């Protein structure tokens, strides 16, 4: 009895497709990638690709463009002494590990402090204790923390005693 063995059929791909795939992966700048994308469109017009290959290459180029646009993550700043540690997420900076998180009030008269610590004193007003319902995603690390509204003078005294992180966005 003879047994029939079926070998998997390898899909054919054009030489141009293989070359452009490697070029897109090797591109180091946006200008180079844009040039390759224009060449892909010209090659498509001339009929150098098998059906569907140009769409795959254009999608690969879009993904590569998004990878290039992401900022490079930097190391966390170590908060060793009391003070305010600012970070900018849009530039790839990460939030330092601090005892408190601060954000400026809308009109600039107050600061809003989130902390697991209990604070008391002149110019410090307790607002609420965070619960799971306060956040969009359940299991946020700030569940159980306290939120305070603090005056400028009280904030100046707090930054002399505690490490405080502040998120600074680019405008």
Instruction: Categorize the per-residue pLDDT at 149 as very low, low, confident or very high, splitting at 50, 70 and 90.
Output: very high
Instruction: Categorize the per-residue pLDDT at 150 as very low, low, confident or very high, splitting at 50, 70 and 90.
Output: very high
In tens, the pLDDT along 74-121 reads 777 777 899 999 998 888 888 899 999 999 998 888 999 999 999 999
Query: Shortest CA distance to 151 belongs to which of 95, 113, 97?
Result: 113
Enumerate the domain spans of the chain: 15-69, 83-167
Tell me the whole-structure pTM to 2 decimals.
Answer: 0.60
124, 88 contact by CB (below 8 A)? no
**pLDDT at residue 82, rounded to an integer:** 92
**pLDDT at residue 166, rounded to an integer:** 93
**pLDDT at residue 10, rounded to an integer:** 59
Residues 111, 136, 119, 117, CA torsion sign: negative
**pLDDT at residue 108, rounded to an integer:** 85
Instruction: Categorize the per-residue pLDDT at 9 as very low, low, confident or very high, splitting at 50, 70 and 90.
Output: low
Top-confidence range, 12-16, 35-39, 75-79: 35-39
**pLDDT at residue 11, rounded to an integer:** 66
């Amino acid at each position: 009895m003879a047994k029939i063995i079926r070998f998997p059929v390898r899909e054919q791909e054009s030489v141009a497709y293989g070359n452009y795939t490697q070029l897109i992966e090797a591109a180091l700048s946006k200008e180079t990638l844009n040039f390759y994308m224009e060449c892909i469109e010209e090659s498509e017009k001339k009929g150098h690709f098998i059906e569907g290959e140009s769409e795959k290459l254009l999608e690969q180029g879009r993904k590569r463009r998004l990878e290039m646009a992401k900022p490079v993550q930097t190391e966390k700043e170590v908060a060793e002494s009391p003070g305010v540690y600012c970070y900018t997420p849009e530039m790839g900076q990460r939030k330092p590990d601090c005892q408190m998180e601060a954000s400026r009030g809308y009109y600039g008269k107050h600061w809003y402090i989130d902390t697991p610590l209990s604070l008391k004193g002149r110019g410090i007003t307790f607002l609420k204790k965070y619960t799971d319902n306060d956040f969009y995603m359940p299991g946020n690390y700030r569940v159980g923390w306290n939120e305070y509204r603090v005056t400028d003078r009280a904030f100046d005294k707090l930054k002399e005693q505690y490490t405080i992180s502040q998120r600074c966005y680019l405008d």
